[in-house]
Chains A and B, each alone.
Chain A
């Protein structure tokens, strides 16, 4: 029989303190029983002598110093795991939120996960097809990669997330063992509705596990949301050998929750008030992606974050990009020109793509085409900045060709319909159509043979 502790010593934001406690383990879970019969969960975050500090997941509203009894559960926070979770909706703390009852657990998983031994990882190869030209060709998503989307308020990242979830496929398999774990942190009610509706309409719900933490839900639950989602993903991938794509939005809300929690704990703040351990905390989350020995599954992550004030040097995008294997960046100008998805090609990068594309994966010319598009589009920017000074008429003939290429590239290659699912061949052929707008001599990133084979005369 567990000991019950009556009353609290202190309530401060999401934290409560208990005194006279013994035999409790760090990060253990506690249950708080209120007088009205409701229960809340908390986790030990600090201990000193017989004083224990708990973070309460559902918030501390209504707690007083003498209306609760606390029971320590003697285990870390675990969630029930099962393949039945596919098609279900949960709240941020992993409780069913679709009224369909509890999940019958095949096993319980500690949501904190554990650090993977780097030796046990397999290097990620092979890609996930998203049907979006810019991503598939220029920033290819590799199985086991973590590739975030950097967006800003009001840009179409939610739309893009939905399109990726709807269209994402694995090249050779028929999509049987491919599933998506979707974690929403601090999203508005109508956005959450939008996701649910779109997934339903596309008939994708059956292969999606959703964790929803709304913007008015408690912040501690928000801190748990990605952990629950990733625990589920790891279970499905590494024990059930499925390929899992985890889409998490919005990491900025997560980091803000972490800051709120840290400041209520009275910790010394680092940059912009975020806790000094923000890097370690984000890393513990993002590193839960990959391919491991002894399992044919994989966990791929697409975290989505909104850059405060579109500032890519803000600590959240900055630290994220230092951990993740590349980034996909939205461009507000392109977005307002009506280009969807308006991605900034030059700022975007997929670090793992070079080993997961080309012969045997996508197409032999893929790497060269991507490099050439990057290089050519970089020159478009130079030509445009020159044109803004001296006027387009004064440009040299070659610069004018680049300007024309740039416009076509944005309108035809980047821009695509919300329901348009382009195959890899379509994308690469389109790329060759565009590259052929430039003279052959400008294609300096590829060899003559390739140019002969594909250049449109």
Chain B
């Protein structure tokens, strides 16, 4: 008996009285072959969510099962490409279908016609196990694709190995004997998007993801293999922060998921990343980037899937031994997609209409991050940085609160800071990173032995300022004693000169750790020297009159990243100028 559509309501369709479908099975719906997924099975109905627009669908059209769960084909050619939420390449879709996204398009994720230079690294007779690398091919100028035995094949013996040469994605590279059965291995493999790919074991996190953004690297660092959330109301710069991290962080590969966000933003990423040169490799940023674009006007069910598609691609490259950073912008849109579908299914809503399983879905997602020894024995990591768009900018709403439980780094974007055009508008008081103690050894070896002390002192000045501002708000700053006025001035230098960073300035957009430390040191030096001068009897006005505070505020522009020796000049000037103050009266 054929299975036919019985009911249609938005992206949700129902089939009556069938036992042919399994939960989470991928299906083709109707004459146009729309892609769908089974999300409910019971005696009377099978419920399917459709990943494409259902307009024009009729009752009685057929639904075909595929026999497997919603999967994505993984293979060379994914890097530098842009996909929709269910991994269809949008560039190819434009060529075949024009400027609009068409329903029922079935362009494969991996281009079957593109040739790669393949180097086969195993020989006939070799014993291989799951995840082991058997061939390599350059995928982009930056990334070499390492072709792995699919995790499902526990062990096999090679019976045929192709010679090195040019091959297409679906050409036979190996034939292998798996328990007496011959299996053909190509450059590709399939993986169900909702299942985490297996690893050998997780290993402790000990390295920060260096982003070149001062407030992140020095105040709230993210870990390679860690999780971070960037919550913020509209206009606070979530997307901008994500773009900056994607551009400059030292991960090998970036997976950027535009989930229910603006179309123009994806165009911007495409254009900017195509033009920008990675400072470390000298290659284009697109050579290490994968984009998943499911903009807000594309079907809502595919928005829900886009997060899983993105993380599956990330895990695939992690298994090759790369460090991956995922930007998920925005997880709130994904949660809303869950809510929308849940509503169509008439499920009992929990908080604010979100389904009761929201926290467990969020946890499943963030737990797919990690620093791991992968099956091939290499080390790889997946870092997840998720933007959260709280409704009404209220951080007590369910998505923000539940996300907070599952991430260890929280970069709270702040409306008042954004209104004052203080970017990145990350509030240094409400943000936190639990990773700092894990990095102690890294900082000592790679940045400077005093890094953590310097960082702590900078934080203390900011905290002190916050306390003093309560008083200033009531009675003005004129009545404060001189030493407290000095704290305010030092905090201003930290806020404006250090925490504020100009993403559009050629030097300031990316600042290496070494310069960050030098900047903090010189600010503290000025503060300490000024304190001493005060004790000798100098007036705050005289100290400010030296112009050094203003000079430090502008040092981010005045000292190029490649001239660290200029900090010595600044330091000498502080010694000479401030050191001379107060002595006459003493």
User: A: which residues have CB within 8 A of B?
Assistant: 22-28, 46-50, 76, 112, 114-124, 144-145, 267-271, 275-277, 279-280, 283-284, 286-288, 290, 292-294, 313-315, 318-319, 321-323, 325-327, 346-347, 349, 351-352, 354, 371, 374-375, 378, 385-386, 389-390, 394-396, 441, 444-445, 447
Contacts and interface: CB of A to CB of B under 8 A. Distances in A.
Contact of B262 (A49, A275, A287): A287
- Identify the interface centre among A24, A46, A122, A322: most chain B CB within 10 Å of its CB: A322
Interface stretch (B265-273, B357-365, B574-582): B265-273
Contacts of A287: 262-263, 295-297
A27 B55 contact: yes
A26 B8 contact: yes
Contacts of A354: 504
Given A23-B60, A26-B8, A323-B262, 5 more contacts: A76-B55, A144-B264, A268-B353, A322-B389, A354-B504
Contacts of B419: 346-347, 378
Contacts of B258: 118
Given A120-B99, A287-B295, A313 B392 contact: yes
Residue in A49, A277, A290 with the greatest tally of chain B CB atoms within 10 Å: A277
28 contacts: A22-B59, A24-B59, A26-B8, A26-B56, A48-B6, A50-B59, A116-B295, A118-B266, A118-B270, A118-B293, A120-B99, A121-B263, A122-B267, A123-B264, A145-B264, A270-B339, A270-B343, A279-B260, A280-B296, A280-B340, A315-B392, A346-B420, A385-B473, A390-B474, A394-B476, A394-B478, A396-B476, A445-B421
Most buried by A among B268, B298, B472: B298
A26 B299 CA distance: 15
Contacts of A321: 234-235
Interface of B: 6-10, 14, 16, 53-60, 82, 90-91, 93-94, 97-102, 234-235, 258, 260, 262-264, 266-268, 270-271, 293, 295-300, 333, 336, 339-340, 342-343, 346, 349, 352-353, 389, 391-394, 419-421, 472-478, 496, 504, 550, 553-554, 557
Contacts of A322: 234, 389
B473 A386 contact: yes
Nearest to B101: A115
A87 B143 CA distance: 56
Nearest to A391: B476
A36 B506 CA distance: 73
Contacts of A351: 235
A76 B389 CA distance: 34
Contact of B421 (A347, A374, A396): A374
Nearest to B299: A115
B46 to A, nearest CB: 14
Contacts of B267: 118-119, 121-123
A390 B262 contact: no
A23 B31 CA distance: 13
A25 B8 CA distance: 10
Q: Which 3 pairs, one residue from A and one from B, show the smallest C-beta to C-beta distance?
A: A313-B392, A283-B296, A287-B297
Given A396-B476, A441-B550, A349 B343 contact: no
Nearest to B235: A349
Contacts of A46: 7-9
A266 to B, nearest CB: 9
A374 B419 CA distance: 8
A67 to B, nearest CB: 26
A23 B58 contact: yes
A91 B475 CA distance: 59
Given A115-B100, A313-B394, A323-B262, A49 B271 contact: no
A268 B98 CA distance: 37
A325 B101 contact: no
B58 to A, nearest CB: 5
Nearest to B332: A322
Given A49-B6, A116-B100, A325-B262, A279 B475 contact: no
Nearest to A311: B392
A139 to B, nearest CB: 11
A268 B99 contact: no
B268 A292 contact: no
A375 B420 contact: yes
Contacts of A385: 473
B100 A277 contact: no
Contact of B99 (A76, A283, A294): A294
A118 B340 contact: no
A46 B9 CA distance: 5
B507 to A, nearest CB: 13
Task: Give the interface centre of A270, A354, A394 by most chain B CB atoms within 10 Å.
Answer: A270
A21 to B, nearest CB: 8
A24 B266 CA distance: 37
B346 A268 contact: yes
Q: Which of B102, B349, B353 has the most CB of A within 10 A?
A: B353
Contacts of A116: 99-101, 263, 295, 297
A279 B336 contact: yes
Nearest to A119: B90
Q: Which residue, of B10, B234, B268, B349, has the highest number of chain A Cβ atoms within 10 A?
A: B234
Nearest to A326: B235
B331 to A, nearest CB: 13
Nearest to B272: A123
Given A47-B59, A268-B346, A283 B297 contact: yes
Contacts of A327: 234-235
